[in-house]
Amino acid sequence: MAIDKDLQGLQAGNPRHIAIIMDGNGRWAQKRFMPRAVGHQAGVKAVRKIVEYCAIQKIEVLTLFAFSSENWRRPEEEVSLLMSLFLSTLQREVDKLDRNNIRLRFIGDRSAFSDKLQIKMAEGEAQTQDNNALTLVIAANYGGHWDMCQAFRQVMDKIAIGELKDQAIDEQLISRHLSTADLPDPDLFIRTGGEQRVSNFMLWQLAYTEMYFTPTLWPDFDQNSLEEAINSFKGRQRRFGHTGEQVLAKSITQ
């Protein structure tokens, strides 16, 4: 989506799109002298609660970073545990999402996943495609660099066959070729687990997103924690390059 260039929507209300890096599963388990797998299982429970809360709060889009392009570097055992967890979660949850009018989407390079998982992902998307409450986007084998590369490749291919002229390349055109083309950019980015970095997540789309970092480990991140993050967001003034005075003047005349 293009950046708001006028003064509409500068006073932060409820975020339309929340994007989360769910960090801290491993440490949560280690603190309890349990294997990291237990932390990931607890992470799935936290996902369920946060999805429920976002649906109740009428958030339009929730994007969760479930597996990055770089997570393949983890020990083989952990990668394979995460893969079976994705599969079993999908098998268990898709009908529930559907009943709750939630649309499921995946972004990322899914070609690296097993056929079984890819089929389940496609089925989950197809089953929920007409739902219009929350859109739940799972970023799996996703990286911001990957997203830009695949967008540039599509654009170059269109130029090569004469469907596009290179003069047509602008910010909107690139946005329309990203994996999030039909979604608003995130308003609020949350990272749990204490690290303060973006880790190759939605690099283009986060240009004007409000950032919120919390030391809370992902399995402990509950509805109150999300409410706190949303309240912090609501207290912010979004300027999109304008001055604070312009924003205030606009909100007074509205």
Please give the positions annotated as active site: 23, 71
Q: Which stretch binds ligand FPP (CB under 6 A): 85-93, 104-112, 118-126, 147-155?
A: 85-93
For every residue of 4-63, DSSP letters joined together read: P-SSTT-B--S-SEEEEE---HHHHHHHTT--HHHHHHHHHHHHHHHHHHHHHTT-SEEE
Q: Burial level of 232, CB count in 10 A (0-12/13-18/19+)?
A: middle
Pick 82 or 155: Cβ nearer ligand FPP: 82
94 forms part of the interface with ligand FPP (CB under 6 A): no
For the bound state, the minimum distance from the C-beta of residue 234 to ligand FPP, rounded and expressed in Å, comes to 26
Q: Output DSSP code: residue 104.
A: E
As measured in angstroms, the least distance from the Cβ of 63 to ligand FPP is 10
d(CA 125, CA 140): 14
Please, which of residues 158-197 interact with ligand FPP by CB under 6 A?
193
- Give the DSSP H or E segment for 68: strand 61-68
| 148 binds ligand FPP per the rule CB under 6 A | no
Which of 14, 89, 127, 200 lies at the binding interface for ligand FPP (CB under 6 A)?
89
- Does 124 bind ligand FPP (CB under 6 A)? Our answer is no
Main-chain dihedrals φ then ψ at residue 124, nearest 5 degrees: -60, -40
Closest approach, Cβ 123 to ligand FPP, in A, equals 15
250 binds ligand FPP per the rule CB under 6 A: no
Judged by CB under 6 A, the residue of 47, 97, 107, 190 near ligand FPP is: 47
Q: Which is nearer to ligand FPP, 10 or 64 (CB)?
A: 64
Q: Which is nearer to ligand FPP, 64 or 155 (CB)?
A: 64
Starting at the edge strand found earlier in the chain, the sheet holding 210-213 runs: 103-107, 135-142, 61-68, 17-21, 188-191, 210-213
